[in-house]
Structure 1
C-alpha cells in the first residue's frame, strides 16, 4: 500500500519562538526609525516654521513626496536604485532609511503645528523676561507645543510601527514576513495570523497606554 507523504507540518513551539524573534526585529526597526525620524522631523518642522517661503520652495515639496507616495513604492524604488549610486544596503538598512525619512516627513508637520500652537504673546513675554531665542524654544515652545501635538505624534509612531510590515517586501524577516513563511509551511493561516496580531498588539499597546497616562498627568 502506498503511503502519502505530507509536506506540511503543524504549528510548534519553535514556530512561536520564530515569530517572537521576528517581533523583536519589528520592534528594533520601528524604534530606530521612529526615534531618528522624530528628531529629523522636529528639525524639519522648525525649518518649515522659521524658513517661511524658502522652506516652502525647498524642503516642503520633498516632504510632501514622502508623505504622498505609498510607502511600499518608496521601499522598492530605494532598494533597487540605491546600488546604482553605490549604496549596497541590505534589506534592514534600506528599510530603516526609508522608514526614517517617512517618519520625519510625517513628524515635520506635527512639529510645525506644535510651534504654531504657542501664541506669539507668550513668546514675546518670554523674550521680555530676558530669555534668548533658544531658551524660548526650550522652556516655552517645547513644553507647551509638545503637549499640544503629543497625541498626533503617538498616532504617527503607532502608524509607522504597523507600516514597518511593508519592509517584508525587501526580504527582511520581520513579523509579517515570518508569518508568511509559517503559513506556507503549516497551512494554518488563521492561527498564525492570530498569533502575529497578538504580537503587534503587544508591541503597540504599551506605547498607547503610556501616552494616555502622560496625557492624564498633564491634564491634572
Structure 2
C-alpha cells in the first residue's frame, strides 16, 4: 500500500520566524509610506491653508478622491495600469506609492486644521517681532499647530499601518498574507490569527505609548 501524502502540516517554529519576517515587511512599508505621506500631507495642508478657495477647487477634490475611494481599489487599479504609462513597479513599490498618497490625503486635512488652530493674533505678533513669513511658519505655526493635531496624526499613522495589509492583494507577503499562507497549510486559523494579531499589537502599541508620553511632556 502506498503511503498517504498529506499537504498539510502542523505549526512549526519556522512558521513563527516566517510571521516575524512578514511583520518586518509590514513595518518597512508602513514606515516608508507614513513618512512620505506625512511630508506630502503637510505640504498639501499648507497649500489648502494658504490657497483658500483656489486650492479648495483644485487640490481639494483630488485629495477627496483618494480619501473616498476604497484603498484596495486604488491599489489594484494603480498596479495594473502603471505598466501602461511605463511604470513597471513591483508590489512593494506600488504599495508604497498608493499608501503614501492615501496617507498624504488624510494628513492634509489634519495639517490644515493644525495651521488654522494658530490664531491670527499670534501670527501677527510673530511678524511684529521681525520674523519673516517662513520663520513664522517654522517657529510658530508648525510647532503649535503640530501639537494641537498630533493625536489625530497618530490615529492616521496607526490606520495606515493596519491598512498596509491590503497590499497583500498585489502579492506582497506582509503579515496578513503570511497568515493566510500558514492558515492554508496548517489549518489552524485561530492560532495563526492570534499570533498575527500579537505582531500587529507589538508594532502599534509602542507608537501609541510614545505618542502618549510626548503629549504628557508637552502638557507639562
Asked if these proteins are the same fold (TM beyond 0.5), I'd say: yes
Residues paired across the two proteins, number: 220
Q: Distance in 1 between matches of 2:57 and 2:190?
A: 49
Alignment of 1:22-61 (within 5 A): 22-61=22-61
Cross-structure match for 2:134: 134
Cross-structure match for 2:90: 90
SS of equivalent residue, structure 2 residue 11: coil
Alignment of 1:169-188 (within 5 A): 169-188=169-188
Q: Which runs of 5+ in 2 are unaligned?
A: none
Question: How far is the alpha carbon of 1:80 from its aligned partner?
Answer: 0.6
**Per-residue Cα deviation, 1:21-65 (whole angstroms, up to 9, x for no partner):** 000000000000000100000000000000111111111111000
Q: Distance in 2 between matches of 1:39 and 1:143?
A: 15
Cross-structure match for 1:18: 18
1:117 aligns with 2:117: yes
Q: Distance in 2 between matches of 1:2 and 1:97?
A: 52
**Per-residue Cα deviation, 1:78-129 (whole angstroms, up to 9, x for no partner):** 0011111111111001111000000000000000000000000010011011
Q: Distance in 1 between matches of 2:206 and 2:194?
A: 19
Question: How far is the alpha carbon of 1:2 from its aligned partner?
Answer: 6.3
Q: Which runs of 5+ in 1 are unaligned?
A: none
Cross-structure match for 1:77: 77
Cross-structure match for 2:191: 191
